[in-house]
């Protein structure tokens, strides 16, 4: 038998049975008639759930909606077809075949069915529905499918947000671990390349070759910075800046970057109280430039890019749209980058901040730009939100917590810059042999008396039994097997409380376990570092 829609073919019976009476005729004649009181109770229970109910006569294809067609789905009963085809047509195309096949199997051999699918409401938006149905088989082979449709859109959004957060967190942990090991290699490459150029005094072609090695290592260092930024473990250098000043300094750069066919407009907030935020200004500048380039690529035929700043207060009644994470209540400085380009679909927006996802053609984007921006903004305590529609453009909003304006800088008398050399005793504790060797060599060349150890046990033995000199500075890796650098520093503080401590690590201090982090008065040098950075930080710690 061929019925009106594909789903009707699910019925395994070879012959057409007599049609069953529809909703108003109480189709299951062999069942006892329900009392009016029982019917009222069921109706009240259905209304209490705010669900929609559909009653489908499988043999005839007739479909009725005893409840919720308008309240939940937005349709007027008089304006929709009383056929099963209406329901099928509203199912999302990606869910339709799966849902119909599942119901077909249940009709063939089951008494109940449940499934989830997206359904197009009358207002043009899709909602996620969970439908639970009972299959009623009456006499004369009658067959009814009565389902209750529950809106689970909010639950699905929370689930998607959780999955996305878990995926990004897992990648962040992987990226942080890879970057940590990679930074050890880069520290060695940068250190020995610098020594070849300065200590040996290479000239001509050899010096050029080593210079290329240095350049490549610095580019690789920038890549690890991107990975650490995404994982929110980048060593940022935050300071208090005023958002209007950041945007104003960018205008000239943007004009040359975007091209002549794109106009730039700035709408900066005007207030007697400028908006200050605590961020790494270089990273914030890079984020805005990256977003501007994305906007340019979304406007291949030209258009308008608008930069705006304002101040907003976020509370439970004013939650912005397009945010992957919920904003805490408080005062924010808001930076918006808006274009009138091609826009993005919901599918694109769902993956926007995932690493290596790009909307650009193959070979034209790494997919790390927005993921990196997301990591930097979140690490700075802010949020990044995206609102976009196909053909209508995109608006990216950066929310950064407002902070108090910094005090006016005090005047300091110019002085002679101190040299980075010294004669103090420095203990280098580092488990990576290459990083330890280059650090020891650089410090000895600067005149320091250097002791070295590969682990905490060796360092304790050296301090307790072998070293007869006072240790002025401990230079230690933060993360080491057996005894961490922080644990050894705590032990040394009891043995030699006057010893200064300088931590080095491929991780950002704030990303470590609380027990392993620096305490007040300790210094931190992120990897990779070159000899100049090492010498400068050692001198800074000793002179503190």
Quickly state the pLDDT bin for 523 (edges 50, 70, 90): confident
Overall average pLDDT of the 115-124 stretch:
93
Lowest-pLDDT range, 37-51, 55-69, 189-203, 234-248? 37-51
CATH number of the structural domain 6-151: 3.30.450.20
Q: Which CATH class is domain 239-403?
A: alpha beta
- Show the tokens assigned to 499: 């010893």
Overall average pLDDT of the 164-188 stretch:
70
Residue 257, Cβ density class (10 Å: 0-12 exposed, 13-18 middle, ≥19 buried): middle
Contact 428, 443 (CB under 8 A): yes
- Number of neighbouring beta carbons within 10 Å of residue 152: 15
> Among residues 54, 58, 163, 56, which one has the least CA distance to residue 119?
54
> Among residues 41, 36, 85, which one has the least CA distance to residue 60?
85
pLDDT at 18: 35
Average pLDDT value over all residues in the chain: 78
> Among residues 308, 329, 341, 340, which one has the least CA distance to residue 383?
329
- Look at residue 170 and tell me whether its pLDDT is greater than 90: no
- pTM for the model stands at 0.44
pLDDT at 253: 67
Q: How many CA atoms are closer than 13 Å to the CA of 523, on its beta-carbon side? A: 19
Overall average pLDDT of the 531-543 stretch:
90
Quickly state the pLDDT bin for 145 (edges 50, 70, 90): very high
- 425-543 CATH, one of 1.10.10.60, 3.40.50.20, 3.40.50.2300, 3.40.50.1000: 3.40.50.2300
- Look at residue 363 and tell me whether its pLDDT is greater than 50: no
Quickly state the pLDDT bin for 55 (edges 50, 70, 90): very high
Quickly state the pLDDT bin for 181 (edges 50, 70, 90): confident
Overall average pLDDT of the 132-146 stretch:
88
Overall average pLDDT of the 344-359 stretch:
70
- Look at residue 396 and tell me whether its pLDDT is greater than 70: yes
Overall average pLDDT of the 520-535 stretch:
82
Quickly state the pLDDT bin for 43 (edges 50, 70, 90): low
Percent of the chain with pLDDT over 70: 75
Q: Which of 21-25, 164-168, 269-273 has the highest mean pLDDT?
A: 269-273
Instruction: Judge whether 6-151 and 425-543 match in fold.
Output: no
Quickly state the pLDDT bin for 172 (edges 50, 70, 90): low
> Among residues 413, 379, 377, 424, which one has the least CA distance to residue 398?
377
Contact 501, 523 (CB under 8 A): yes
Percent of the chain with pLDDT over 90: 27
List of E strands, 489-537? 500-505, 523-526
Overall average pLDDT of the 468-487 stretch:
86
Lowest-pLDDT range, 26-40, 388-402, 486-500? 26-40
Cα–Cα distance measured from residue 519 to residue 516, given in angstroms and rounded to the nearest whole number: 9
Query: Helices 369-379 and 204-230: crossing angle, nearest 10°?
Result: 70
Residue, of 192 and 38, whose pLDDT is higher: 192
- Look at residue 133 and tell me whether its pLDDT is greater than 90: yes
Cα–Cα distance measured from residue 466 to residue 425, given in angstroms and rounded to the nearest whole number: 14
pLDDT at 525: 86
Residue, of 76 and 409, whose pLDDT is higher: 76
Q: Which of 29-33, 159-163, 206-210, 454-458 has the highest mean pLDDT?
A: 454-458
- Number of neighbouring beta carbons within 10 Å of residue 147: 22
Quickly state the pLDDT bin for 369 (edges 50, 70, 90): low
In the chain, domain spans: 6-151, 157-230, 239-403, 425-543
């Amino acid at each position: 038998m061929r019925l009106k829609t594909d789903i009707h073919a699910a019925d395994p019976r070879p012959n057409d049975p007599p049609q069953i009476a529809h909703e108003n005729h109480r189709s299951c004649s062999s069942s006892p008639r329900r009392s009016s009181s029982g019917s009222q109770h069921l109706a009240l229970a259905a209304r209490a759930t705010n669900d929609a109910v559909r009653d489908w006569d499988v043999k005839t294809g007739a479909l009725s909606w005893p409840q919720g067609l308008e309240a939940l789905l937005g349709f007027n009963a008089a304006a929709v077809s009383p056929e099963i085809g209406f329901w099928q047509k509203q199912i999302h195309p990606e869910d339709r075949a799966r849902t119909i096949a599942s119901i077909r199997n249940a009709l063939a051999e089951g008494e109940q069915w449940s499934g989830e699918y997206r359904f197009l409401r009358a207002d043009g938006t899709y909602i996620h529905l969970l439908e639970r149905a009972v299959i009623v088989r009456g006499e004369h082979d009658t067959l009814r499918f009565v389902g209750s449709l529950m809106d689970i859109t909010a639950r699905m959004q929370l689930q998607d947000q959780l999955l996305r957060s878990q995926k990004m967190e897992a990648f962040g942990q992987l990226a942080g671990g890879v970057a940590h090991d990679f930074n050890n290699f880069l520290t060695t490459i940068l250190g020995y390349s610098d020594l070849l150029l300065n200590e040996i005094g290479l000239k001509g072609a050899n010096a050029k070759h080593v210079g290329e090695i240095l350049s490549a290592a610095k580019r690789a260092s920038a890549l690890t910075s991107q990975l650490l930024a995404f994982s929110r473990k980048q060593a940022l250098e935050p300071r208090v800046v005023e958002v209007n000043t950041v945007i104003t300094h960018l205008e000239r750069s943007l004009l040359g970057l975007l091209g002549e066919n794109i106009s730039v407009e700035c709408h900066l907030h005007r207030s007697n109280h400028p908006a200050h935020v605590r961020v790494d200004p270089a990273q914030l500048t890079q984020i805005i430039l990256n977003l501007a380039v994305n906007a340019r690529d979304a406007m291949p035929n030209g258009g308008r890019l608008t930069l705006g700043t304002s101040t907003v207060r976020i509370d439970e009644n004013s939650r912005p749209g397009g945010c992957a994470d919920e904003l805490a209540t408080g005062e924010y400085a808001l930076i918006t980058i808006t274009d009138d380009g091609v826009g993005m679909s919901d599918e694109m927006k769902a993956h926007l901040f995932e690493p290596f996802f790009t909307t650009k053609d193959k070979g034209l984007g790494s997919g790390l730009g927005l993921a990196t921006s997301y990591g930097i903004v979140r690490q700075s305590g802010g949020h990044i939100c995206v609102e976009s529609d196909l053909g209508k453009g995109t608006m990216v909003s950066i929310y950064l917590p407002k902070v108090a304006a910094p005090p006016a800088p005090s005047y300091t008398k110019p002085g002679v810059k101190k040299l980075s050399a010294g004669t103090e005793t420095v203990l280098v504790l580092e488990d990576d042999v290459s990083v330890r060797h280059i650090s020891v060599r650089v410090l000895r060349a600067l005149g320091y008396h250097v002791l070295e150890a590969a682990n905490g046990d060796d360092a304790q033995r050296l301090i307790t039994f072998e070293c007869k000199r006072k240790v002025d500075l401990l230079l230690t890796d933060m993360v080491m097997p057996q005894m961490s650098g922080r644990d050894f520093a705590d032990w040394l503080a009891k043995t030699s409380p006057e010893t200064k401590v300088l931590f080095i690590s491929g991780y950002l201090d704030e990303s470590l376990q609380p027990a392993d982090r620096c305490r007040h008065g300790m210094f931190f040098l992120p990897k990779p570092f070159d000899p100049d950075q090492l010498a400068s930080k050692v001198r800074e710690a000793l002179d503190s």
